[in-house]
Structure 1
Amino acid sequence: MATAKKLPSGSYRCQIYDYTDDNGKRHYKSFTAATKKEAEYLATSFKLEETATAKGNLTVGKATEQYINNRLSILSPTTVRTYTGIANNQISKIAKLRIDSITQEQIQVFINSIAGTVSPKTIRNIHGLLNAVIRTYRPNFALKTDLPKKVQPDIHIPSDDEVKQLLTYAKGTELEIPILLAAFGPMRRGEICALEASDINGNIVHVKNAMVKAPDKSWVIKAPKTYSSDRYIEFPDFVIDLLPEEGKITNLHPNMITDRFANLLKKAGLKHFRFHDLRHYSASILHAMGIPDKYIMERGGWSTSSTLKTVYQHTMRGKNKEINKRINDYFESMQHEIQHE
C-alpha cells in the first residue's frame, strides 16, 4: 500500500499508479486529506475498486455510480439529478448484482417488479440508464427487455377563453409576464426564469439559457440542453412593453411558477392544467393559423415534430364534436333533399 506524505499545507497526499501513456510516461492518481490515514484510505479504496472492476466483480450499483460520476462534466444538472434519483430509488433494488453475471431474465423480472409503481415513460428512462451502464462495463451483453407499452399522454390544451380569463386574473401580478412569454412565445419555465433584459433587442428575445435544479437541489443557469432550444423569438409590442429594461425578467424560479400558477387557476375558477401546457396552447394556435411545422418548431425550440403531433391529436379531439356535427348535418341535409324529390 502506498504511504501518504505530508504537504507544506499540513494536509497529506497519497499517490497511486494509474496508467502509462503512449509515450511511456507513468500517470498517478492523487488523494489528499486532512490526515495520513484518510489519504491512504482513499487511495486504497480506489485501488480496490479498480481491481474489482478489472476482475469483473463490479456490481450494478457501483457501475451506475461510476457511470454517472464519469460524466458529470458533460451531463446537464437535470440529467445528473434524474440519473441519481433512478440509481437511488429503482436501480438500488438490483444494486448488489454483479455486472459480469447479471442475466436478461433478472433484468426482466426487475422491470416487471416496478411496472405498476411508475409510469411506462419512467420505466423506459430507468431501462435506458441501466442499458447504458451495462453497455459501458459489459459491451458484449445486449439487452432485449420487454417494456410496457407507451401510454398516450392526457394533456390539456387551454382554449382562447381560458387563456383570456387567466390573463385577466394574472394582470399586474408576478405571473403575468411568465404567462405571456409561455402562451405567446412559447417559452419554457426554466427559460423564462433565466431571461435577462440584456437578452432582449427590440421585440426580439434571445432564448439562450435555462434555470435548472442542480444535483444539490440549488438553482443554476446553464446553456440549453439542445441546439434547437437556443433561438430568437419575436414578441408583439404589448408583451415587450411589460418587460423590465434591466436585470432579470422575473425573480421566480421554476417551482415557484408551478405552485403559484396552480393557485392562480383556482382563483380564476379554471380547470387545473400545467404551466407547460401554455406552450401547447401556443403551438396549437400557430397550427390552426396554418403556420408550417418547421417554423413552429423553431419558435418553440422543439428538435422533433413528435411533441407537435401529440398536441395536434389532442387539439383535434377537442374539435371532434364540432366536426361530427358538421358531417352528420351534411348527410341529414342530403337525406332531407332525397325525401322531398
Structure 2
Amino acid sequence: MAKAKKLPSGSWRCLVYDYTDEAGKRHYRSFTSDNPEKEGRLEAEHLAAEFAYTKDRKRQENTDMVLQESMEQYCILKSNVLSPSTLREYKRMIKNYYTPLISMKISKITAIQIQRWVNNFSATHSPKTTRNAFGLLTSTMALFKRSDILTDITMPQTVVPNLYTPSDTDVKSLLEHTKGTYLETAICLAAFGPMRRGEICALTKGDINGCNVTVSKSMVKGDDAQWHIKSPKTTAGYRTIEFPQFVIDIALKNSTGDKIVPLAPDSITKRFIDTIKLLDIPRFRFHDLRHYGASILHAIGVPDQYIIERGGWSTDNVMKTIYRSAITEESKKINHKINLHFETMQHDLQHDNKKA
C-alpha cells in the first residue's frame, strides 16, 4: 500500500502508480488531504488505495475478455481515428489470423503462446503480413494493459520487396495505348504526380487551378463494401502538385462531368491489368507508377524533402526502402556519364605522358 508524505504546507500527499507511457515514463496519480493531523494521512492513503483497487478491478474485468472481443473493442474505440480501409483490414485479420489465441482470455495469454503463434504464422505468411498482424495484437494488448508480455517476442527478418520499377519506355507504351481514355489520365497523374489511386478517383475539376492540382481527399472502401470520399490518412496527404501543362490538358480533355476520372480504384486496377497484358512490357502494378515517379525525381537530382512532399509521404522511410529503386534506363545513362568521365581522364593522362 502506498504511504502518504507530509508536504511543507502541512497537507498529506499519497502517490499511486497509474500507467507507463509509450516512452517508458511512469505516471502517478496524486491524492491529498489538507488535514495536517494523522487523520489527514489516513484520508490521503485511503483515497489512493480506493483508486488502486478500482483500477485493478477494471483491469481484471478487461483482461477477462477473450482476445477476439478485445480486438473488436479496440476497433470500436478507434473507429473515428482510423481510416475505413484500415478498420476493414483489421476486421479481416481478426476473423482469419489469430488461431488459437483468438478464443483465449487476454489475462491468460503468455509470451510463450504469442511467440509460438508468431513462429507458426510466419511459416505461411510474409514477414510484412506477420508484422502487421502482430501490430494489431500489440495495440490491443497495450490498450488492455498487457503489453508487458510482448517485450521479448522475436519477429521474422524484414524482407525488402523486389519490385519492378517501370521505365520511360513502359510509361510511353501505356500512354500510347490508352490515349483518349480515363486510364490515360490516371496513368499521367500517378506517374507524373505521383498520386495514389484513391486520390485520383476523388479528384474534381474544382481541384485544378492552372497547372496546380490540390489533393485533399481520397476514395476508400468502407465497412459496407461501398466507396466513400474521405480525408487523407495523414496531414502529409494534403498537398498541391504542379503538373506539366500536357498532363492538365489530357485530364481535362478526357473528363466528362465534374469528376476527372469517374472510376472506382478497383476499376482502374482492372483496366490497368488488362492493358498490361496486351502490351509487350514487363508486368507491374498500377501503384508501381508511383515508384516510377519518385525514382525519376531522385534520378534527376531532386532533394528527398521535395519528393516526400510531392508524393504525400509522412516520412522518408517508405521512399528509401521502396521508391528509390534504380531505373534501368536511367542507370545506363548515369553509368555512361561516369565511365565517359574516367575515359576522358585516362585519355588526357595518356596525352600528357606522350608530351613528356
Length-normalised TM-score, structure 1: 0.77
Instruction: From the superposition, tell whether residues 93 and 254 of structure 1 become closer, same or farther in structure 2 (CA, over 3 Å).
Output: farther
Give the corresponding residue for 1:89.
96
d(CA) in 1 for partners of 2:304, 2:59: 52
For 1:215, the aligned partner's letter is: D
Letter in 1 for 2:65: L
Cα distance in 1 for residues equivalent to 2:328 and 2:166:
13
Residue equivalent to 1:238: 246
Tell me if structure 2 keeps the 8 A contact 1:59–1:98.
Answer: yes
Contact 1:100 / 1:138 at 8 angstroms: preserved in 2?
Answer: no
| Counterpart secondary structure, 1:186 | coil
Deviation at 1:161, TM superposition (A): 1.0
Question: Is 1:276–2:284 an aligned residue pair?
Answer: no
SS for the counterpart of 1:212 is strand
SS in 1 for 2:293: helix
1:220-276 CA distance string (max 9 Å, x none) = 110000101110011121121232485111121111111110111122222110111
Query: Which letter maps to 1:116?
Result: A
1:247 aligned onto 2:254: no
Q: Distance in 2 between matches of 1:317 and 1:160?
A: 10
Q: Does 1:293 align with 2:320?
A: no
Q: Distance in 1 between matches of 2:182 and 2:80?
A: 35
Kindly state the Cα deviation for residue 173 of structure 1 after the two structures are TM-superposed: 2.0
Q: Does structure 2 retain, via aligned residues, the 8 Å contact 1:52–1:58?
A: no
Q: Is the contact between residue 183 and residue 281 of structure 1 (CA under 8 Å) also seen in structure 2? A: yes
Inter-CA distance 92–65: structure 2 relative to 1 (3 Å threshold): farther
Give SS of 1:298's match: helix
Closer/same/farther in 2, CA of residues 94 and 140 from structure 1, 3 Å limit = closer
- The AA in structure 2 aligned to 1:77 is P
Deviation (angstroms), 1:307: 2.4
Alpha-carbon distance in 2 for matches of 1:304, 1:123: 22
The answer to whether the 8 Å contact 1:104/1:145 transfers is yes
1:160-184 CA distance string (max 9 Å, x none) = 1111111000101220100011111
Q: Is the 8 A contact 2:118 2:130 kept in 1?
A: yes
Matched-pair contact (CA < 8 Å) for 1:195–1:207: yes
TM-score between the two structures when normalised by the length of structure 2: 0.74
Shift of 1:139: 4.1
How far apart in 1 are the matches of 2:213 and 2:137? Answer: 39
Q: 1:140 to 1:127 in 2, by over 3 A?
A: closer
Ranges in structure 2 where 5+ consecutive residues have no aligned partner:
1-56
The corresponding residue for 1:101 is 108
Q: Which aligned pairs between 1:104-143 and structure 2 lie closer than 5 A?
A: 104-139=111-146, 141-143=148-150
Q: Distance in 1 between matches of 2:238 and 2:206?
A: 15
Whether the aligned pair in 2 keeps the contact of 1:157 and 1:314 (CA below 8 Å) is yes
Conserved? CA contact 1:60–1:95, under 8 Å = yes
How is 1:135-214 mapped onto 2 (pairs within 5 angstroms)? Answer: 135-139=142-146, 141-143=148-150, 144-214=152-222
Q: Which residue of 2 aligns with 1:16?
A: none
Local SS of the residue matching 1:315:
coil
Contact 2:110 2:149 in 1 (8 A): no
Q: For residue 222 of structure 1, what is the aligned residue in structure 2?
A: 230
Contact 1:213 / 1:219 at 8 angstroms: preserved in 2? Answer: yes
Q: Which has the larger radius of gyration?
A: 2
SS at match of 1:211: strand
State how far apart, in whole Å, the 2-side matches of 1:152 and 1:52 are. 40
Q: Equivalent residue of 2:240, what SS?
A: strand
Is residue 263 of structure 1 aligned with residue 274 of structure 2? yes
Number of equivalences: 291
The whole-number CA distance in structure 2 between the counterparts of 1:110 and 1:278 is 36
**Cα–Cα, structure 1 residues 162 and 95, in superposed 2: closer, same or farther, change >3 Å?**
same
Q: CA RMSD in A?
A: 2.9
> Could you say if the C-alpha distance between residues 145 and 327 of structure 1 is closer, same or farther in structure 2, counting changes exceeding 3 Å?
farther
Structure 1, unmatched stretches of 5+, are 1-49
* SS at 2:116 equivalent: helix
1:314 to 322, 325, 328: 325
Q: CA offset at residue 53 of structure 1?
A: 6.0
Task: Answer whether contact 1:99 1:138 (CA < 8 A) is retained.
Answer: no
